[in-house]
Chains A and B, each alone.
Chain A
Amino acid sequence: MPKLVLKFENSVLKEMPVGSKEVSIGRSPENGLVIDNPAVSHYHARVFNEEGRLMLEDFGSMNGTFVNGQRVKMVTLKPGDSVGIGKHTIVVSESREMDGFATGNGGARPPAPKINETVMLDTRERREFLQKVAAVGESSQVAPSRLRVPTLIVRKGRTDQREYALNDKLTVVGKSGMATVKLKGWFAPKAAAQITRRDDQAYYIGAADKVPAVNGQPVLHPTKLESGDVILVAGVELEFVFRD
């Protein structure tokens, strides 16, 4: 029979087996498992057996019920799961006397479900692809560039700094408060151009209020920046380089 072990920090406050009768959890004294803390709702959640599975249901509590760190409404509990309610933790444990509460191999996650044809997901191909990406993409491309900082060097024009390291996924060139490359001057546009880092870890420049030029060519579609490219936008000239 599974049992619930109520803990606060590292001390065990109470243990409660879950049999055929459900265990209600909350601040109110009527509950089977009372947690007297303002963060806990009067009737917070319940744990019950259903067809041999141990279920947890949150009663729409104010501060929520978390299983292994994720907020839940209704879930199946497994031995070893940690249920967070306020600052208290309830650990699901398997009492020695077995009575059909399936544990599988010692609380490990059940195998992933077989995917029906209609789901249109090929897990094998997905895994193979992810392995390939891990093997090829990561080692040959991402690793070396991590040491090098993509940087914009100001060659001409009025800006608040001489150079800018591109740390964010979105970099705005303009006068706006959200701009990284801050343009000065009365007639500077709020957002002249934008540079985004995509999932291939490359940087792409695109038009905003102005159409920037890269190496003299106007950029109509977002264009990948290469080291040494010179960007001209709103009277400012910027060189894109990777700094070591």
Chain B
Amino acid sequence: MDRAETLVATEMEVGARSDTGCVRENNEDSYRVAPELNLFVLSDGMGGLDAGEVASRLAVDTILEHCRAAEANPSLPLSGEHVEGVSSASNRLASAIRLANAVVYRAAQQATGDRGMGATVVAVRLADARMSVAHVGDSRVYRLRAGEFEQLTQDHSFVADQVRKGKMTEEEAGSSAMQNVLVRALGIDPTVEVDVSEELVLEGDTVLLCSDGLSRELSDDQIASVLREYDDAQRAASRLVDLAKQAGGGDNVTVIVLRHATKPTGAFARIGKWFKNSA
């Protein structure tokens, strides 16, 4: 299975691709690109049979639905506690993820037998120059700004916790057999703690959302060099997935690339435009 699309959000160029990879039989990742909401969501499902696919799909669809409903009715109640120090858009995003947790949790309770069901989620929402970033699990958001590559999310995984506590080095974490153990995910408990943060969006910034199928196959440097090399967001997304598959493609790979295109600004640009219009 291979899905690809190119869409243009407000001043944002978007590229996205999801691939089953070379080992797995089905794609348990789901993603949604909703430029009309400036919302970009990715989820990596877990669970036997088709449970992972169901979980990730429920997660992304619930998030979109809640944000869309809030767009129509801004007084729609928030699910869970109001987070202090962040915008209402960020609070809405966190609310949507808490709701997604409840939906996946209920689906897991209803699933027959004791096959578990869970999902990670990472979501980005843009409002002018402010970007809300929210996540649960080990799907990530990276940013490339002025050549500097940075991970904006902290994995909710066992090894990431060990590294943060100084009990494990980055290298040990990268080769650990415990890499796939999450300490937080959607669908496991009736409620979940959502990490939410805010970032500034500047012209020229590139933002990458990805499932661990990318970040486990490629190093940060490899990912950064693809984002530096390809100006086109869709081509960058496709190239990242191709490289992850070449490196083994052990898991499903999903990426969303957002690029705030650089526009000429300042007095000279305005004069240039004026000449064009008058010609």
Contacts and interface: CB of A to CB of B under 8 A. Distances in A.
Given A119-B46, A126-B183, A178-B128, A170 B118 contact: no
B215 interface: no
A87 interface: no
Given A125-B158, A169-B86, A207 B145 contact: yes
Given A126-B184, A169-B86, A221-B148, A196 B197 contact: yes
B114 A198 contact: no
Contact of B47 (A76, A119, A122, A207): A119
Nearest to A193: B200
Interface string A133-162: 000000000000000000000000000000
A195 B124 CA distance: 19
- Smallest CB-CB A-B distances: 3 pairs: A170-B198, A119-B116, A115-B116
A222 B181 contact: no
Given A53-B110, A168-B86, A209-B202, 15 more contacts: A75-B106, A113-B114, A115-B188, A118-B46, A120-B180, A120-B181, A121-B46, A121-B118, A170-B86, A170-B199, A194-B200, A198-B197, A206-B150, A207-B145, A207-B148
Interface string A201-222: 0000011110000000000111
A207 B150 CA distance: 12
B202 A197 contact: no
A191 B47 contact: no
A167 interface: yes
A69 B78 CA distance: 9
A119 B118 contact: yes
18 contacts: A70-B99, A71-B79, A72-B106, A118-B47, A118-B115, A122-B158, A126-B184, A167-B84, A169-B196, A176-B129, A191-B200, A194-B199, A197-B85, A197-B197, A198-B154, A207-B145, A207-B148, A222-B150
Interface in B104-143: 106, 108-111, 114-118, 128-130
Contacts of A191: 129, 200, 202
B261 interface: no
A96 interface: no
A72 B188 CA distance: 18
Contacts, number: 124
B56 to A, nearest CB: 13
Interface string B73-100: 0000101000011100010000000010
B233 to A, nearest CB: 21
Interface in B186-203: 188-190, 195-200, 202
A113 B108 contact: yes
Contacts of B200: 170, 172, 191, 194, 208
A224 to B, nearest CB: 13
Contacts of A123: 188
A121 B198 contact: no
B236 interface: no
